[in-house]
Structure 1
Amino acid sequence: MKPGRFIRLLDTHGADPARWPEAERAAALALLERSAEMRAAHDAAAALDAALRDSLPEPDPAALARMRGRLARAMAREPLPRAEPALLRWLRPFAPFGAGALVTLMLCGVWLSRPGIPEPDEFLGAPRLMAMMEARP
C-alpha cells in the first residue's frame, strides 16, 4: 500500500482498523508498522476521532423511545403495497411514466398518415378504361 492511499483510508474510515475495508486492512497495518510517518498520521486521525466522539452529546433515551414509537406507528398506518399482475411487473421497465400517451399519439399519427381509399378515376384510370373498351367484342 502506498502512503497516499493510507492517508485517504484514514480520512475516509477513521483510525479504527475494524472500520477499514478487509481487502486493504492487512496492507495498511503492515505499512503502519513499517513507517513512523504513517504512525504519526494514524495518531492524528485517532485524536480527531476522539475529539469528534467527545463533542457529540449523548442521545436522550426517552427521546429515542418516543422517536422509535412514532416511527413504528407511522409504518403501521402505511397501506400495504398492491400486488400487480406478473405481466405488468414484466412490462414495467419497458413502459416509463407517460408512455401510454406517447403510444396513443403515435398510433393516431400512423392512422392519419395512411392513404385513404383511392378515388374511382384513380382506381379505374384512363388507360385501364381504354383497355376495357377495346376488349369488348
Structure 2
Amino acid sequence: MTHVLPTHRPLDRFTRLLDAHGPEPSRWPARDRAAAEALLANSAAARALLAEARALEARLVAALPQPAPEAVARLQANLARAIARSPLPAPASAWTRLTARLRPAAPIGWGAFAAMATCALWLSFSAGPAVGDPLGPLQALPIAEDPL
C-alpha cells in the first residue's frame, strides 16, 4: 500500500519556513529554498501566505522606532575616536613566537613532551639487556636498598 502525503503538508512546511525565516527568499535555507520557490510557482495559497508575511513584516518595520540621524552620526564619530585612541597591540615577544612555532611538537602539552623526552633519554643511556634476560632493562634502574 502506497502512502500519499496530504496536499496541505507542503503548505504547512512553507508556513513554518515563513515563520522561522521571514518572507525574504534570500534568508531561507538553501535546502528549502528550491522546494518553496516551486511551491510558490504552483500554489496560489502559498503566494497568498507569502504576501501576508510580507505585509506583516512591512508593518513591523514601520512600527519600529528609527534612530535620529544625528544620534547615529554622533555614535559613529565616538566609535571612530575610541578606535583611533586605542593602543596598537604589542608585537609578540621572542618567547611567544618560539612557543608558537614549537606548539606542533607538543600537541598534548609541554608536561607530556618533557615526560616523553625524559623516557627517551633514560632509554638511550641505560645499559642494554643481557642476552636472554627479560628483566635486563629493570637492572639499570636505581632501587633503594631494603631497610630491613
Q: TM-score range by the shorter chain?
A: 0.5 to 0.7
- Structure 2 equivalent of residue 56 of structure 1: 64
2:79 maps to which of 62, 71, 77: 71
Q: How many residues are paired up? A: 105
- Establish whether residue 88 from structure 1 lines up as the match of residue 99 from structure 2: yes
47-56 or 30-39, which deviates more: 30-39
Structure with the largest fraction of helix: 1
Name the TM-score, length of structure 1 as normaliser: 0.56
Q: Give identity over the alignment, percent.
A: 46
- Larger RCO: 1 or 2 (CA < 8 Å, sep 6+): 1
- Taking a change above 3 Å as real, the CA distance of residues 80 and 42 of structure 1, as seen in their structure-2 partners, is same
Letter in 2 for 1:12: A
RMSD (Å), alpha carbons: 3.6
- Structure 1 equivalent of residue 54 of structure 2: 46
Name the TM-score, length of structure 2 as normaliser: 0.52
Gaps of 5+ in 1: 104-115, 127-137
- Establish whether residue 12 from structure 1 lines up as the match of residue 23 from structure 2: no
Letter in 1 for 2:40: L
Task: Give the Å deviation of 1:23.
Answer: 5.0
